[in-house]
Chain A
Amino acid sequence: GQQLNQSPQSMFIQEGEDVSMNCTSSSIFNTWLWYKQDPGEGPVLLIALYKAGELTSNGRLTAQFGITRKDSFLNISASIPSDVGIYFCAGETDSWGKFQFGAGTQVVVTP
């Protein structure tokens, strides 16, 4: 099956710093999504990417759908304490909304 690799596994950063994480795949995806999950909660959609090369922002978040359709990155600028959580990428493996998730990137922000 398709392999989806997310890195880094965890990040410890100071408040105000920028954060960058990415996902790569051995196969192409139709759609890339980025989610944030807080402990004990379901994932919350941050950004959805539908076209190769697409660059989309949501406040301090920016994500891009790689031109090869095999990768995507998420940047968080000027991090704040509430950015703490686990961020997941997800690639759509078919046209019916079935997604494969990356292993997650845990972000810890220190004051």
Chain B
Amino acid sequence: GAVVSQHPSRVICKSGTSVKIECRSLDFQATTMFWYRQFPKKSLMLMATSNEGSKATYEQGVEKDKFLINHASLTLSTLTVTSAHPEDSSFYICSARGPGTANYGYTFGSGTRLTVV
């Protein structure tokens, strides 16, 4: 079945630095990927839609200059949290969708726990 690999699983960084999170589709090509954020004991909130070869579409209230998304190939999307601050600490999860096949649309990565100190 469709597998999405997310890396790293955990990262601790200093305030002011940038962190890159990778999301890879391992056995299918993902034309669209989604980035979610989850606070403790809360639901997943969509941050942005990443489309291969074009600019990401951000949800209302999400700063595009703070959360840089790059989807340069059909198997890789990256989320870079720039100038991270403690309030950016959260669980970030990606999801990948393949072209046309319904089941491929719904696979999530295992998530990245970001802690900014």
**Which of A's residues lie within 8 Å of B, judged by CB?**
31, 33, 35, 40-45, 48, 50, 88, 96-104
Contacts and interface: CB of A to CB of B under 8 A. Distances in A.
B106 A48 contact: yes
Interface string B102-114: 1101111111010
Contact of B110 (A41, A97, A100): A41
Contacts of B102: 31, 48, 50
Interface stretch (B43-51, B65-73, B78-86): B43-51
* Chain B: number of interface residues, binned into ranges: 20 to 34
Interface of B: 6, 32, 34, 42-46, 49, 91, 93, 95, 97, 102-103, 105-111, 113
Given A50-B102, A103-B42, A104-B43, A97 B6 contact: no
Contact of A41 (B34, B42, B46, B111): B111
Contacts of A33: 106
Contact of A98 (B42, B49, B91, B93): B49
A99 B43 contact: no
Contacts of A88: 43-44
A43 B96 CA distance: 13
Nearest to A100: B46
B111 A97 contact: no
Q: Which 10 A-B pairs have the closest CB atoms?
A: A97-B97, A42-B108, A97-B105, A42-B111, A42-B110, A101-B43, A101-B44, A103-B43, A42-B93, A43-B108
B109 A40 contact: no
Contacts of B105: 97
Contact of B34 (A97, A103, A104): A97
A17 to B, nearest CB: 24
Given A40-B113, A42-B109, A97-B34, A102 B103 contact: no
